[in-house]
Amino acid sequence: MNASALHEPRPEVDTTLGRVRGVRDQSTGVCAYLGLPYAAPPVGPRRFRPPAPAAGWSGVRDASRFGPPAAQYFDPHEAPLDELVDAPPASVPRWVGSEDCLTLNVWTKASPGERRPVLVWIHGGANWLESSRLRVYHGAALAAAGAVFVSLNYRLGVFGFTDVAALGDESYAGSHSLGLRDQLAALDWVHANVERFGGDPANVTVVGESAGSMDLSWLIAGGHLDGRARRAVLMSGVAGVPGLAQHDDYDFYAEAEGRRQARELYALLGIDGVSQLLATSTGELLERLARAVPSRDMLFHWDSLFYPRVDGTFLPRTPFEAVQAGAARGLDLMVGSTAYEMSLWLLWDDGLDARDPRELARRLPGFPPAVIPAAAEAYERWFGHGGAGSPGLHLLGDAMFVMPALALAALQAQVGGRAYAYQFTWECADPRLKAVHAADVGFFLGTFETPGAEALIGAPGSPRERAARRELAGRMQSALLAFAERGDPNPLDVAPRERWLAYSTELRSLMLFGSPSRVAYDPLLARRSWWQQHVYGRRLPGAP
């Protein structure tokens, strides 16, 4: 929100908890209501417990500023510091945020009585980093274009995705998924309140990217979107870092594996019991975490650590098993990836793209050991020459993001549900990054010109390139808005030969968002077939 464009009178809305006063951008007419509590602060006796209802207030609550991010280690590669704090400190901090973080934000241009489609954004960050307050995640552009846009914070890392029951107290069972429960509490707030902001509570589309998308797949698996959402968009993330991650003697998704990882983390942090954990302050826990971070690998440890687990109750099965059983048949899905996902992790390991694919596959949690030689041979054959990228990074990207997305789309199609599949192919300014993980966010949300987005994709080198970016962003936003409104991402006047068809196991239609964008049919045939034959066949016949 441009401060110079804010003018009185400030807009006000009555919510179920009390009246709020937001801010209006005079140049666009978009109103923003920021930092709205959707659950009680998870502190004191509520620490490491499921979210509780928020208390109401009397008078008018100021909603002109974002709430604090969830308490987290500060990683400058993930987000600009000045977007995570209200006033940057004199020196770079080791951690930012607060445990009192359960707030959401609403952008709307709707008039009273309107019922516009609602987009709810769940941010990424491997479930231990980032925040909805980052400018690349703001919803003003999509609100100006016709949606009501809601973004939310949820508990992260140690506070939201670590199994406290691993310390011996079973009353904390299920704490590996507190962040998911927070997201559901936010969706309940949306359902109860969004009509007051001009949104249609019967037409909610939940959109997640990276960890946000992975979390969304678990909400689908647990049946938790029933009655809360009509559609879901999963951008670069299904189930978890290892993709399907199951072989005969290992299951990454099991609660037992989550507890093993939690015990290892608590030992690293010097925590040996629940009472000690409860007595340790936010700052002390995060200081210990900050000291531990350099001792472990970013990709294969920290970014693979904070994930929901199958627990038989809240999450009774994996997303793949759930969709295969028809759990998402009543949801319209859009699911996709970028064409070179793993180059993002060059920010933490500059030599990652030179690693032998055998080494990378061995380090990937849950990758079937017996197929590693065949995988390395295939990816070296496909990508071992020319400028198409690293064989190892393509192997990891397919394992973690690309093939799980296609698998989910295929399973949804097999049970009679509808899914649209895409791949983002536009290549950013850095030739090593190409179509990097998260590069599509700014184009879908209309925030591609923000500093955070350009820090990843680079600034446009010419007016022509800037115009091309705007054209691509316009096309992607139009597809997202059309999908949110009517479950079909095609413009009403699309030519038949340019139509983006729902995914099927016959045609395997894939929208390639790039320069230019186009629809292709089974463009990843060789790789998809390899994964079906060597990895997925026994467990998920017919997918991807």
CA distance 209 to 261: 24
Q: At residue 288, what are phi and psi to the nearest 5 degrees?
A: -65, -40
Q: For this structure, is 281 an active site residue?
A: no
Please report the sign of the dihedral spanned by the C-alpha atoms of residue 164, residue 166, residue 171, residue 176: positive
CA distance 297 to 321: 30
Of 127, 379, 377, 113, which Cα lies nearest the Cα of 240?
Answer: 127
Catalytic residue from among 177, 210, 236, 390 = 210
Query: Which amino acid does the sequence have at 450?
Result: T
Of 500, 504, 332, which Cα lies nearest the Cα of 406?
Answer: 504
Tokens representing 402 are 């690309």
8 Å CB contact between 117 and 481: yes
* Helices of type H across 280-352: 282-292, 319-324
8 Å CB contact between 80 and 15: no
Query: Which amino acid does the sequence have at 490?
Result: N
DSSP string, 189-251: HHHHHGGGGTEEEEEEEEEEETHHHHHHHHHHHTTTTTTT-SEEEEES-SSSTTTT-EETTEE
8 Å CB contact between 456 and 439: yes
Using DSSP, state whether 263 is helix, strand or coil. Answer: helix
Q: Are strands 418-424 and 332-338 parallel, antiparallel or unpaired?
A: parallel
8 Å CB contact between 386 and 522: no
Catalytic residues, by residue number, are 210
